[in-house]
Chain A
Amino acid sequence: MTFIQGIVPPHILEHIRDHGTPEQRQLAEVALEQHRSVIGSREMAPGVATTRALGAPPATVAIYDAQGSTTLPGSLVRGDTDPATGDAETDEAHDGLRATLDFYSGVYSRNSVDDAGLDLIGTVHYGHAYDNAEWTGSQMLFGDGDGTLFNRFTIAIDVMGHELTHGVTQYTAALDYQDQAGALNESMSDVFGSMVKQYHADPKQTADQADWLIGAGLLAAGIHGVALRSMKDPGTAYDDPQLGKDPQPADMAHYVHTSDDNGGVHINSGIPNRAFYLAAAGFGGYAWDKAGRIWYATLTGGHLRASATFAAFAQLTVTNAQSLFGADAVTVVRDAWEQVGVATKVPATDGQPHHKPKKKPHTTPSGA
């Protein structure tokens, strides 16, 4: 059985387990279990010393079903290469996570959350009428929604992009989930989640074509609102007697000081979200080409501290705008932050605008 482990990729093992002879199935299950425990031990030290495995095989996506329970991960219902199951949650989660992996790989040459091909697990039908989607630190889970306030949480592709990006943040800047750093952590998930939606639209959407909504379709019928958050117009996504009103501020003058929600991480993320939208709109074209590349370099470049403030993050985007695209890009990015009330300085330059590097930005683990 040793020959199976470590040579055969997990999605093949899953296929063997599901379709092989009884003996093959047993061997495959053992190998998969060993694979899972290796993955588990890798997760023990997130963001630390994950040597970038060049040439690591592309990550796989596996969807599990908790069948209304809160047992994780539940039972496997769709492996990486399995066909659609016909269950909306299963297929949306699978396709959304696959789309997110493809976005990171195709645009930023990133191989999964750890950039070393970490296989991904999503659990659907988690809990009874559960109104949430989460990244647990090692997997994603999606609730069915209660049907009165929320539909199923897999309904919008950016929700999968959002949750998977929490994993990317965990393995890169490892932003604290508290106060401004936490709001930046949330904003990273909205920024990249939104770009996943734009990238996978048919045809692909430019910054001015995108709706910049997070969770479009997630609000149940009869709820007054268009989505959960608006990156373009924070605070305008919903206003409903049952649900409440979208509490997101659009600029620093309206920053919300609260101890709830880890210091308002899902509230104040409106400020950096809008800065990203403004930068993307300022550049024009596809968001991932310039604004996205600058934000990605900021998140993964090794200079962003875990406790970063909005101002520190903003200044790093300006520095990266300079090194990636030159002085004109600096103006666009500084204008975007200025409009949300975050001041930045002109970066020190050698007077030579740099050109876009051929290689992707080097990824350094957290603690920088």
Chain B
Amino acid sequence: MRITLNRSGGFAAVRALTGEITIDTDSLTEPSSREIEHLVGAVDFEHAVARQTPKPGAGDYISYTLTVSHDDGESAVSFTSPIADPTLQHLVSRIEEIGREKNPR
């Protein structure tokens, strides 16, 4: 499974916090791979993401696009912070952590 997280915006809007993180679960350690695949399966994308459009007047939210590619094809969802769904929040945080480990600052 290949997962791409694209991030833009936010109050800081700096290069280090934006742009794309791509991870291939085949290249992760066994526990990390299992965790990511479990989280992707556990997020109720239709429900969690539908509530995640910015409210009128909101400012400095982060815009995310999450693309999941596997053998059956590809699906993408877009949403913004603050992320209300804890599972989706956990998935985003884990992808960002893995992204930092891949490109240590």
Contacts and interface: CB of A to CB of B under 8 A. Distances in A.
Contact of A150 (B9, B12, B81, B86): B12
Interface string A155-184: 000010011001101110010010000000
Contacts of B73: none
Contacts of A218: 12
Interface string A65-97: 000001010000000000000000000000000
Contact of B57 (A159, A166, A265): A166
Interface residues of B, number: 29
A137 B82 contact: no
A135 B13 contact: no
B8 interface: yes
* Interface SS of B by simple majority: loop
Interface in B1-33: 8-18
Given A70-B86, A163-B60, A137 B55 contact: yes
Nearest to B6: A260
Q: Quick one: which of B60, B81, B86, B93 has the most chain A CB within 10 A?
A: B60
Nearest to B90: A70
A267 B11 contact: no
Given A162-B60, A266-B11, 17 more contacts: A46-B56, A72-B82, A128-B93, A131-B17, A136-B58, A136-B61, A137-B54, A153-B11, A167-B57, A170-B56, A170-B57, A186-B59, A228-B12, A244-B16, A260-B8, A260-B9, A265-B9
Nearest to B85: A70
A131 B82 contact: no
Contact of B59 (A70, A127, A135): A135
A103 interface: no
B16 A242 contact: yes
B12 A137 contact: no
6 contacts: A46-B57, A70-B84, A70-B86, A134-B11, A141-B82, A262-B8
A47 interface: yes
Contacts of A148: 105
B93 A135 contact: no
B36 interface: no
B54 A133 contact: no
B62 to A, nearest CB: 6
